[in-house]
Amino acid sequence: MQTPSPAINIPGVPFAVLYRDTHLLVIDKPAGLAVHPGPKTPDSLEDYLEDLACGNHRWPVIAHRLDRDTSGCLVIARHPKAIKRVSGLFEAGLVKKLYWAVLASLPDADSGSIDAPLHKISSAEAGWRMVIDKRGKRAITHWEVIDRAARLVAFRPETGRTHQLRVHAASMGHPIIGDPVYGDGKGPMRLHARAITLPYDEAAPLTVTAALPADWPAQALFSPANGAALPNIAVTP
């Protein structure tokens, strides 16, 4: 398994690049930055693709998505063959992702799985959202409590449906703190793409980890000053 180098700072890019080689970039996307532009998000990650090209004549291509208010690991492909390879890995379900979230409350159990299909609905008044509905696509999420005092939970999605973790957390009666659609929307949403494992090279799969954002309420519980390391939660099921 490859071990990424320390985070890379690229001029003009206001976030860390966690990993870079000739094929891929993995960035630490900040919360609040949309991946693609839209009517409500004219500023987006696409604004930084020229800088992320690092002098290459071809701009890199964003390989997948994170919600605007989700922080953490995001993969960017640096050339056409790489985007084809990475897209195939995502479509085949071979990319393993680990998310951390702070929930409004916690279930009694310490771990579990949710298998609930997701379907998109919309209305002129409320806009669009995802709901659990048998008409939808299958969605599977595994979860594990990391720290009860911090209400910190690890999510390991088997599938990659839109808003999957947010809807599944809310369906348990324990929405993600700050979720503006499926929770109370009070304060920033606390969902972080903690790690990603990508078998771009089958002989040496790449695992990249993004530290918790400094403003998270759980951060102090795991600071070196308290003599506690970040929990080692496995990326793969």
Pull the structure tokens for residue 133: 């509905």
Q: Do 19 and 5 form a contact (C-beta atoms < 8 A)?
A: yes
CB atoms within 10 A of CB 126: 9
Our answer to whether residue 67 is catalytic in this structure is: yes
Compute the C-alpha angle 220/223/225, nearest 5°: 110
The C-alpha atoms of residue 180 and residue 189 are separated, in whole angstroms, by: 8
Token pair for 183? 């929770």
Minimal CA–CA distance to 30: which of 64, 75, 73, 71? 71
Q: How far apart are the first and last CA of the chain?
A: 17
Q: Do 160 and 96 touch, CB atoms closer than 8 A? A: no
Which candidate in 28, 43, 47, 67 is catalytic?
67
What six digits make up the tokens of 73? 């690991």
Q: For 109-188, where are the E strands, in sequence order? A: 111-115, 118-123, 127-132, 140-147, 152-157
Residues carrying an active site annotation:
67
